[in-house]
Amino acid sequence: MGTLIPQSAVRNLLKNYYELTKPKIWYLLVFTAFGSALTASFLFNIPVQASTWLLLIVGVAAGSAAADTLTSYNDRDIDAIMERTKQRPIPSGRISPRNALAFGLILTAISLVCSWFINIWVFALMIFGLFDNIIVYSKWLKRSSQTNIILGGFSGGAPAMIGYVAVTTQNLEIGLVMAGLVFLWIPTHIWSLALHVKKDYLKAKVPMLPVVATERSSVRIIAGTTLLMVLFSIFPFFFNQFGLIYLITASVFGAIMIFLSVRLLARPSEEASWLVFKFSSPYLMALFIAFIVDAYFH
């Protein structure tokens, strides 16, 4: 008779693979896909079949988790150096690089199959997002250029666009603006974190903005990208598709983002940069909730 594997060992194994996918990242990306799809459905009164919802959620979750898993595989040497990441499943030895690679490829396959059964636009955008994140950002630019976050940021906007075209291809400018908002959100989100853990990136020789620029220049750029993001977030109001619910939400949450970035600009500190980073995710979630609610009452 075979030896039974203890339930605790199974739970730990599942926990390790779950952690490998960086769920805090893909949760938010899945929400942007869900939010843009629901917004499109409400705006144009297009019913979405349950099968499409299932394929969309599973596909984007698998695709985002695949990207996070494969970038973890690419970055395993860097992660082993940085204090913030050295306890992740691969550098800590809980999952072997070979198994992580296989898991990431399986997730990639699942995401592409799900995307294919929705429509060709979703399939193409899924391929683009995976390529941009895994190859352009992680493999090509992360170790060589400070533009890594900018050129690699297109993948962050892909789920929002995927959600939109899963429902409709009319008025594509709305989907593009929702995806563009995520794209503009990424520099503020990542650079504020990088400023908070600058010593880690310096030790790993990763050319993030705070490593290649002075602290003063870094906080100015973060404040500038935050202002650009907030101004851009007002833009959907002028489409005549969104009303006061969205405008008020974008204005209030945008004002808080600007306040936090100005505070960081005036008195740079790890605490101030951490606050910008921590509030940026609720900010983006609030905007997508506002998109949904406003579209519902449109």
- Where on the phi/psi map is residue 47: left (φ > 0), alpha (ψ -120 to 50), or beta? beta
Q: Assess if residue 5 is contained within a domain.
A: no
Q: What is the pLDDT of residue 5?
A: 66
Q: What is the pLDDT of residue 239?
A: 79
Q: Assess if residue 289 is contained within a domain.
A: yes
The enclosing domain of 198 has a CATH number of 1.10.357.140
Q: Assess if residue 130 is contained within a domain.
A: yes
Q: Assess if residue 2 is contained within a domain.
A: no
Q: Assess if residue 208 is contained within a domain.
A: yes
User: Are the beta carbons of 263 and 247 closer than 8 angstroms?
Assistant: no
User: Are the beta carbons of 176 and 157 closer than 8 angstroms?
Assistant: no
Tokens of 203: 């030790």
Q: Assess if residue 4 is contained within a domain.
A: no
Q: Assess if residue 3 is contained within a domain.
A: no
- pLDDT, block means (10 residues), the chain with 298 residues: 68 94 95 98 96 98 98 96 95 96 98 98 98 95 91 95 97 95 96 93 93 93 96 89 94 98 94 95 97 94
Between CA 246 and CA 287 the distance in angstroms is 7
Q: Which domain holds residue 171?
A: 10-296
- What single-letter DSSP state applies at residue 236? G
pTM for the model stands at 0.94
The tally of domains found in the chain comes to 1
Q: What is the pLDDT of residue 233?
A: 96
Q: What is the pLDDT of residue 3?
A: 58
